Structures are given as C-alpha cells and as structure tokens.
Amino acid sequence: MNILSIESSCDETAVAIVKDGREILSNVVFSQIDVHKLYGGVVPEIASRYHIEKISQMVEECIKQSGLGEEEIDAVAATAAPGLIGALLVGLNFAKGYAYARNLPLIPVHHIRSHVAANYLAYPDLKPPFLAMIVSGGHSHIVLVKDYTDYQILGRTKDDAAGEAFDKGARVLGLPYPGGVHMDRLAKEGNPNAVKFPMVRFKDEPYNFSFSGVKTAIVNYVHNAKQKGEELNLADIAASYSNAITGILAENFLKCAKELGQKTLVIAGGVSANSMLREKLQAGKSPDQRLYLPPLSLCGDNGAMVGAQGFYEFQAGRIAPLSQNALSAFSIEKQLC
C-alpha cells in the first residue's frame, strides 16, 4: 500500500510516499528555517503562507521522485495535530482535496505518534510493545506504546519541552536558530561539569520533567557573568547545559524502563538527534535492553514518518471524513477519528 504523506505542523513542508508503513519511496522536505531564523523563532503566520506556496510543488516533486504513477497511490495521510493551527490546516486541507479528487482514503495522523513511527522506517524488526521517549520542540513525553495506535503517557514535561530549552539556551549563547544542533556541536568542545545547572526531580512523579528552571538558570548565569565583565566560556556552558537536560531525560527514561521491566527502548523527535543524550542512553541501559535510535535524517519533522504511522492508523480503520479538523493540541492517547 502506497501512502502519500504530508507534514506541515511547523516550519517544514514535507511530503513522502511510503510503502506498507516501512519503506520510503520518496521523501522531500522544504525547510523554512532560513526565513524564521531572521526572527529568532517560527512566526506562525509566515509558516502558513510558505506552506501554501510550497505544498503543490512538493507533492508533485515527491510523486515524480517515487517513480510511481498517481494511480498507484492508495491513500493520503496528513498530520492533523498537534502543531501550529494555520500550518496544519494547509497540509490537511491539501490532503483532503487530493483524497476527494482521487477518491482515496484520508488518514489523519498525530504528529508525536509519527515521530515514534520514524523508527519503523529504519528498523524492520521493531514492533510494539515498547517504551518510547519523544523529545521535540514542543513535547517531552515518556510513553508506553502498547500497540501501533495504543499509547499510554507515563511521563511528561510540566512546563517547557526539552527542545524549547535547547533553543532558548542556544539563543542566550548567541547561536543561530534552531539552536539545538548548534548547542550539540559546541558542547562537544566543552567541559560538561564546568557549570552546575539545575536538574529538577519530582519525588512523587519520577517520570515527569521540568525544564523552565534550567532555562532561567542559563539566562541568569550569562547575565551575571556579563554584568561582572567575566569572559564566558561558551563551550563549557553549552556542555554543562546539555549535560543537565540530557542527564534528566536519560535518568527518567531509564528509571521508567527499569521499573516497568521494559526491554525495548525507542527515542524519537528532534532532540533524539542529540549526541550527549544518545551516549548517556547507550551507556546507561542494561545489556538486556535494546535501544533504538532513529537515523539523524528522520529525527526532525519529515513526511515519511507520517506515512509510517498512517499505514498503521489505516490498518486500525482510522479513515477520516472530509470534515476532519486540525487541532493545535491533542493527546497522543486519543484517536483523531
């Protein structure tokens, strides 16, 4: 089954064709980062306008690269939630139009579910149940994936997402947007124990996160040092800051896995590209646990992951009517249709 898959929840207009949920036939991404960089973050209005401009061209290009005829496309999947509402509506409405015109099933996909599904594209042997940690610009979740479309949240952030904390920290250090990847690179040159940044733990909620404190701490640290006229060692700060964020992510995830006796661990989302996080998980897991790390090319937003999850949503019978709406916030546990 070939699924035309569209992702437009944020600042990437991404389209793919995925076969049977596991094989990428084509995967094209138009990134708007260069535009949003000028503003230091994603401007929702601009994101929607770029999606409108680019979507038809990206779909055409994607079909061309797949080598398929349009009659070989069996269904259309699109991210329907969560994300920037104007941005989501562009991709979802395009999918609706395409589905209607060609009389194809329309499959709405949850963005965070699709991040998890990116791993199905890289690892043919990976099947639920497993324990997943999804760390992106908007989410930090520890989730039990009981089945392809059955999720239970075990831990989540109580304030900011890990990616948001990386981006804010990077901005304070004068790094370009989005800062996570730049922070990652700079951190490799620094001492992770040079500065003590807070790692928040909740006594009665061992799998929950909080990143607002570490964000404030880096702002204050840099501000105070500048006030005193001290020279900043940016690499040391980046390494120490990354150490605090990835430390608590790895700690809670591994604790959860151990306590639940989970042997299959999966990470997903933009922050799952972080090298320090990957190292900590590799080093901290027990020998009988298997850790699945998505390839770097599939950590960030892409269309292929929508097709991977879309296939399993289709198999579960989740085909939407043309009245399907997009939602800016929506729990990964709930079904979109």
- Under the binding rule (CB under 6 A), the answer on residue 270 touching ligand KG4 is yes
- Under the binding rule (CB under 5 A), the answer on residue 79 touching Zn ion is no
Whether the CB-CB separation of 137 and 33 falls below 8 Å is answered with no
Minimal distance, residue 327 CB to Zn ion, in Å? 15
User: For ligand KG4, which stretch binds (CB under 6 A), given 173-181, 194-202, 205-213, 283-291?
Assistant: 173-181
100-121 exposure pattern, b = at least 16 Cβ within 10 A, e = fewer: eeeebbbbbbbbbbbbbbbbbb
217-251 exposure pattern, b = at least 16 Cβ within 10 A, e = fewer: bbeebbeeeeeeeeeebbbbbbbbbbbbbbbbbbb
- Under the binding rule (CB under 5 A), the answer on residue 7 touching Zn ion is no
Nearer of residues 75 and 245 to ligand KG4, judged by Cβ = 245
Nearer of residues 236 and 301 to Zn ion, judged by Cβ = 301
- Under the binding rule (CB under 6 A), the answer on residue 271 touching ligand KG4 is yes
Structure tokens at 332: 């990964």
- Under the binding rule (CB under 6 A), the answer on residue 301 touching ligand KG4 is yes
Q: Which of 86, 190, 269, 310 binds ligand KG4 (CB under 6 A)?
A: 269
- Cis upstream peptide for 82 (omega within 30°): yes
User: For ligand KG4, which stretch binds (CB under 6 A), given 63-71, 195-203, 269-277, 326-334?
Assistant: 269-277
CA distance 223 to 169: 12
Interface of this chain with ligand KG4, residues 174 to 203, rule: CB under 6 A: 178-181, 184
SS3 per residue for 141-202: EEEEEEECCEEEEEEEECCCCHHHHHHHHHHHCCCCCCCHHHHHHHHCCCCCCCCCCCCCCC
Interface of this chain with ligand KG4, residues 223 to 262, rule: CB under 6 A: none
Minimal distance, residue 41 CB to Zn ion, in Å? 15
Element (H, E) at 328: none
User: For ligand KG4, which stretch binds (CB under 6 A), given 50-58, 159-167, 230-238, 326-334?
Assistant: 159-167
Interface of this chain with Zn ion, residues 269 to 308, rule: CB under 5 A: 301
Element (H, E) at 205: none
Q: Which of 108, 137, 190, 310 binds ligand KG4 (CB under 6 A)?
A: 137
Q: What is the DSSP string of 80-131?
A: EESS-HHHHHHHHHHHHHHHHHHT--EEEEEHHHHHHHHHHHH-TT--SSEE
Q: Which of 300, 303, 307, 310 binds ligand KG4 (CB under 6 A)?
A: 300
Structure tokens at 293: 């790390």
Minimal distance, residue 116 CB to ligand KG4, in Å? 11
Minimal distance, residue 136 CB to Zn ion, in Å? 4
Nearer of residues 192 and 300 to Zn ion, judged by Cβ = 300
- Under the binding rule (CB under 6 A), the answer on residue 140 touching ligand KG4 is no
Minimal distance, residue 262 CB to ligand KG4, in Å? 23
Nearer of residues 67 and 174 to ligand KG4, judged by Cβ = 174
Q: Hey, is 212 helix, strand or coil?
A: helix
Angle at 207 between CA 192 and CA 85, to 5 degrees: 90
User: For ligand KG4, which stretch binds (CB under 6 A), given 41-49, 231-239, 271-279, 322-330?
Assistant: 271-279
The mark string for 111-150 relative to Zn ion (x by CB under 5 A, - otherwise) is -------------------------x--------------
Q: Which of 17, 292, 261, 301 is nearest to 136 (CA)?
A: 301
Angle between helices 304-315 and 111-122 (to 10 degrees): 100
CA distance 268 to 188: 21
Q: Kindly list the residues in this chain that would bind Zn ion in the complex (CB under 5 A).
A: 136, 301
Q: Which residues bind ligand KG4 (CB under 6 A)?
A: 10, 115, 136-138, 163, 166-167, 178-181, 184, 269-271, 273-274, 300-301
